[in-house]
Structure 1
């Protein structure tokens, strides 16, 4: 779990310098290293780090903040210090705004994440940072802990993270924070009217299930719904081999709402939390759902299955209908749902959809505060006919290829009765190492939502 260096521990200074600050620093406090830094080409570029030698070994380090243009192009540049410094306790030295200090500290915590469960030799312990005065360390630690959980769940391969293992992690999270948790498993899904969750997961020998968690007894109700497809072969509309390589991350929505739930419970926010995760494996067998099958949903709407690889919206539909049976709730769904979202905004942005302007404004503000970029896309009513096949109420995979992320969000909206609803179409993966975001599983939108909740729910 992420941690700060103790306030009273001996620590080395990490001098934070902008290109404008550098000449004065070299002519003053940093004069002893002026020749060394000049010779090494240090110009205080974003994340550029140099160790500073001293008479007894290491005297500290310097890191550049870069230009405003550099900072605008990349988050968490100062987190590069974690890899460069390797170990020991450090403190920030220099003039930073509160926002810049917060970004530096959060980035440091996120860059300290290690996933070495499958390595023979554990990775070295990362360096620790002291919490600068004036920052809310509890919130920073909660956000990092939630992100660690999300990354761990996504990074775990599908042979060890099937529906049952996801349930175990879900129950462990509930137990850690005094929440209640339950599961509806296998054919009990049919008995309790979750037919589409059952239809998607029935082909696997690892039974489908619906996981539910409740926490808190007072305040407004927030219901989080996360897609938990623990592996997606595509079903009978089988994905090509290359298309399956990342499909252990298809439970990234579940992992992200679990990470957000951890943040909420750890910070004891004054709300009533409900978390729903339909957990399945989309497999191939004689009992798999078929193209052109027509499924009846919990809400009663019928759905023609025109692509068995568009299964995430089917399981979410039953869960969202269930969530809407408590009409006072604000509902948020998160899912690794469409490739169209990645084509639209790439891997670094999480598009979201809502009809509620106040929710949208709160989420956008939260994204800026939490260094967690999102982008609002429209629930474009003119595209509603695209999800109506004629033979059934809804089509799970409209033909034509246009506006795939929007039509998926419109499909989900059909199952939500609450007027306060937002849907996030996340990627859940970092394709290549970035500052504070190692290659692999990643949460998106959770920090934006954490900071949006006070405004969204009037906490």
Structure 2
């Protein structure tokens, strides 16, 4: 069943139906170009040469038939070095091909993954078109033999959901709308959703979530999705700050421009949740999203305030713009009360993470060497880059201000991603815990990743889950 989400105009990319009329795609590397040309008839080889086909990475030349119609296409796969420096070759080609249905007529180079390339092709079809007419690639691909088409389509649907949530501006993606999107996802998969809204957060002991969101007209909430009745328990916690002004520590305009994406952690875990549910992984899934808007009004929390968390730890507020770790703290404390087999948080949390690894890599934290090795391996297989940063215990003192148990924004600025992760770890207790500090945004148009919202680490995690949780 294709999911229906509460996000307008959400077209989920799929493979084309198999047909004998599909146009053949020939993948040619710079090394194999001469041999390929030698095997062709004179007209085909002459056409390729006259069109300047050198098999460079992402180069596309369409092939004419005897009657002038399209008979297929050549796709350049470049060199091993060029393939290392770029991702999603087939997506780059799909964006250049005329509308039609295509099928691979040759194998990919051994250093490319067929599943990754097929996923990239599907994502080349993505376009965010809610407010203006935008279109993705019109070329359709027949699923090649040897791939799990349903699995790839599930990953593409999850990615589509993530991107569309992030791309939707805060005017139409506040805490209530995010809750509606979760409810629609749950309905598609037979999951259950419970939300705790507004003053009920205080009544049920979620003081930090309430405090961060209390200045906004749109009520804060904790959204709680559950799915599955057997297997190990996986709990995903996603930061759902639907817009972040910075609070009383107001962000400058340039820093506020992309703050609609501050709910990117929530969007990421929801995309991952779809992948899990659509493919029926044998686990018990819980998704917790503290959804708030960090606004400014009379009730706004202030620098110098000392807040008490659900866990009982007190937190000195030294910067109201470090609000994401506060809402995650209550949600993590709530999650670990149930002792999940694996607890994962995802958040657009710190600029320090971007300084460390840039926009394209998702740093993650774990105390378990085996989990780090597994995730690093699957990330490489999935072309979904992640990099481990340390829970460096020696920095614990940096988040201990003396006047309270914890400091939400240590002075000095050093190791900002690590101190934020250490702060969160205090609320995960002894749980088997991973934290991802994602950017959630493609800064320019790239193959399979147009400028705008994007997931990070989700496909790596999805592929790692069977090993991480011992799934059969």
Shorter-normalised TM-score: what interval?
over 0.9
Q: 1:182 aligns with which of 189, 194, 206?
A: 194
Q: CA deviation at 1:267?
A: 0.4
1:416-439 CA-to-partner distances (Å, cap 9, x unmatched) read 124310000000000001111111
Alignment of 1:127-276 (within 5 A): 127-276=139-288
Per-residue deviation, 1:100: 3.0
Q: Which digits, 9 at most, give the CA deviation of each residue in 1:135-170, with x for residues without a partner? A: 111211111110000000000011000000000001
SS of 2:428's equivalent in the other structure is: coil
- Are 2:27 and 1:16 aligned? yes
CA distance in 1, matches of 2:138, 2:190: 31
2:326 matched to 1:314? yes
CA distances 1:216-241 after superposition (whole Å, capped 9, x unpaired) = 00000000000000000000000001
Task: Please state if 1:26 is matched with 2:46.
Answer: no
Q: Distance in 1 between matches of 2:422 and 2:42?
A: 62
Partners of 2:138 and 2:346 in 1: CA distance:
31
Match of 1:343 in 2: 355
Structure-2 separation of matches of 1:124 and 1:344: 32
Q: Which secondary structure does the structure 2 equivalent of 1:415 belong to?
A: helix
Mind listing any 5+ residue stretches in structure 2 that lack a counterpart? Answer: 1-11
What SS class does the counterpart of residue 243 from structure 2 fall into? strand
The runs of at least 4 aligned residues of structure 1 exceeding 4 Å deviation read none
RMSD: 1.3
- CA separation of 1:388 and 1:204: change in aligned 2, threshold 3 A: same
In 1, Cα distance between equivalents of 2:289 and 2:20: 42
In 2 relative to 1, CA 30–197 (structure 1 residues): closer, same or farther, beyond 3 Å? farther
- State the match for 1:41 in structure 2: 52
1:125 Cα deviation after fit: 6.3
Change (3 A) 1:335 1:9: farther
Q: How does 1:72-87 map to 2 (within 5 A)?
A: 72-87=84-99
2:100–2:140 CA contact under 8 A, matched in 1? yes
Q: Between 109-118 and 298-307, report the one with greater CA deviation.
A: 109-118
Distance 1:124 1:367, change over 3 A: closer
Residues 291 and 9 (structure 1), Cα distance of their counterparts in 2 relative to 1, 3 Å cut: farther
| Counterpart Cα distance in 2 of 1:239 and 1:30 | 63
Equivalent residue for 2:129?
116
Gaps of 5+ in 1: none
Partners of 2:235 and 2:340 within 8 A in 1: no
Is 2:105 aligned against 1:101? Answer: no
Indicate the residue corresponding to 2:7 in structure 1: none
Deviation at 1:94, TM superposition (A): 1.2
* Preserved CA contact (<8 Å) 2:126 2:137: no
Equivalence for 1:458 = 470
Which of 417, 422, 426 in structure 2 is aligned with 1:410? 422
Q: Give me the TM-score of the superposition, normalised by structure 2.
A: 0.95
Q: Does structure 2 conserve the Cα–Cα contact (< 8 Å) formed by 1:329 and 1:418? A: no
Query: Separation in 2 of the partners of 1:219 and 1:111?
Result: 35
* Partner of residue 71, structure 1: 83
Match runs of 1:275-294 below 5 Å: 275-294=287-306
CA contact (8 A) 1:328 1:418 kept: no
Given that 1:327 and 1:417 are in contact with CA atoms closer than 8 Å, whether structure 2 keeps it comes out as no
Determine if contact 2:162/2:270 at 8 Å carries over to the other structure: yes
**What is the DSSP-based 3-state SS (H/G/I as helix, E as strand, rest coil) of the residue aligned with 2:113?**
helix
Corresponding pairs, count: 458
- Which deviates the most, 71-80 or 192-201? 71-80
Measure the CA separation in 2 of the matches of 1:345 and 1:203: 34
Alpha-carbon distance in structure 2 between the residues aligned to 1:105 and 1:184: 40
Q: Structure 1 residues 345 and 277, CA, compared in 2 at 3 Å: closer, same or farther? A: same
Trace 1:348-427 onto structure 2 (pairs within 5 A).
348-427=360-439
Task: State the distance in 2 between where 1:142 and 1:124 align.
Answer: 18
SS in 2 for 1:408: helix
2:346 maps to 334
Aligned-residue offset at 1:78: 2.4
Q: Any conservation in 1 of the 2:161–2:271 contact (CA below 8 Å)? A: yes
